[in-house]
Structure 1
């Protein structure tokens, strides 16, 4: 049975399950309740039962729509009239743009110039005003400071805010309601919004949670090891949605409630993308495919378990698939 209280956990506060449960009700009219898929072929390859929560089929093609929608629904009429802004590698920007379109809120998005074209096109498609910036956290922070100095619009962060985390956590909430007997949950790790929300939900049900990030962007793993937030690594991994460091809200949740951060190589990500394409018949962007890559890499560790894997997004340039580039 699904447990609806977080109160049995020492030190819990309203950032946790109660806020996610409220978010679920609030965003329900706007989001897609995405399917959970299973493939016996992938089960045999992994040596485990895999349940894929397909957020690649969410509106705007990624889980980010959940958090963006939840955040905008909290705005006052005055804040809605002024508009909002964000910086994003693509998926959060598109999600905020579409949520703004639905709710009548003007949206500005700063996006790295090397972000996948499909993601930039998604942002433009939903009517946001888009500004291209240099890759990396320094350029993101500088753009935020410039727009904040203008003073009229509210900044909606991609991940490091309780309202964003709560919205993202609804994906794991739906997954364990559909399959409550899971032995574990596995989520990608970038800034930590999705993993934080997943960890809250998993811990409330006594389900262990693992995060996954690329070896070339392993600042999350380093942060847990050092017990302090470490800077993002140079943006060279193909997993463009995971190239940011943890935040003040996400770090302590991940530190306290995530069992481990697993690392995968670029080649392992390519292989997992290909297998998802072949067997589930859906697209998974590199940042999403890391979850399958981790289970295949650590087969002995997960063998015999029933696992919930969150496929975070599917915004891929189909004319240039990574496994075809070698």
Structure 2
């Protein structure tokens, strides 16, 4: 079970490995949102997303003999790269199971980090079964993208930093908006905030049509998405909330927020224009919610996690095309 001591232990193992990412702001974004907007730029983390935190936490926590045999993970790209880099830095092999429709950049980067990539059809394949079969055949340790206590703990170190940085900015009470797929980052941040800054409340953010977490929180039980593809926010498209993560979300999080793909694209463009950071669609949904769902948020400030920046050139150009001419 993940708790604050496990997150703090992960933080000690991550010291000197993960980047302490900045909390950014812009008066132009504040004006759009009607309140102060602070953006936790995890797109500047190693491998371009927060996933390195969970990958390192899980790999470093394995017993030495198990770690030496290697690890396996399944992911549309960001968890893949986080685990691949953590494995390479530990000098152990990694196999990553990825959907065929994952962004080309993410597949290429995962291979460049030294991992073996196994592709599958997201619509017809069962990534859990594929990963379990390969793990059993080769004796690899499976590192799940969110339903893993050590992965959640690693992601929770983001929340420890947010608590410290928010205090430095004089923010003691605010919603913390988090892009949410299976819920590992949201759960980890929620646990860290509970232990360090109870006035900050995590809220999951998702794309329309893939709002399983928002619906699950409203219903009080697990809800599934009807489809497993069809959104540009590929990094946070999952069937349903995790078995480990959802009880944490149900206990600690506020209501979920849902944005459109077009709003995610607009948030990407504004992040580039006003903060000078590159954010992928799934990583931009929290900022989109802050900017375009202001009535669903209370208080004078809101904190958003920009969770990843691994976006193909064509899609990023599409986002920038929506900016007005100077």
Aligned mate of 1:231, from 209, 224, 229:
224
Q: Which residue of 2 aligns with 1:122?
A: 109
RMSD between aligned alpha carbons? 1.7
Secondary structure in 1 aligned to 2:206? strand
CA distance in 2, matches of 1:54, 1:306: 17
How many residue pairs were aligned?
Answer: 313
CA contact (8 A) 2:156 2:187 kept: yes
| Offset of residue 32 of structure 1 | 1.0
Q: Which residue of 1 aligns with 2:188?
A: 197
CA distance in 1, matches of 2:180, 2:305: 11
Question: 1:250/1:103 Cα in 2 relative to 1: closer, same or farther (>3 Å)?
Answer: same
Deviations 1:160-216 (A, max 9, x none): 111100100111211220122242211011000000011112223212221100112
CA distance in 1, matches of 2:128, 2:46: 27
| Offset of residue 267 of structure 1 | 1.2
TM value normalised by structure 2: 0.91
CA contact (8 A) 1:93 1:123 kept: yes
CA distance in 1, matches of 2:111, 2:136: 24
Secondary structure in 2 aligned to 1:216? coil
CA distance in 2, matches of 1:177, 1:61: 22
Q: Which residue of 2 aligns with 1:176?
A: 163
| Offset of residue 138 of structure 1 | 4.7
CA contact (8 A) 2:132 2:142 kept: no
Matches within 5 A, 1:1-326: 15-136=2-123, 138-150=125-137, 152-180=139-167, 181-182=171-172, 183-204=174-195, 205-206=197-198, 207-234=200-227, 235-244=229-238, 245-302=240-297, 304-321=299-316, 322-323=318-319
CA contact (8 A) 2:175 2:297 kept: no
Deviations 1:232-291 (A, max 9, x none): 441111100111121111010011110110111111111111111111111000111101
- Unaligned 5+ segments in structure 1 are 1-13
CA distance in 2, matches of 1:231, 1:319: 30
- Unaligned 5+ segments in structure 2 are none
CA contact (8 A) 1:264 1:290 kept: yes
Regions of 4+ moved over 4 Å: none
CA contact (8 A) 1:97 1:126 kept: yes
CA contact (8 A) 2:204 2:213 kept: no
CA distance in 1, matches of 2:41, 2:309: 9
Secondary structure in 1 aligned to 2:61? coil
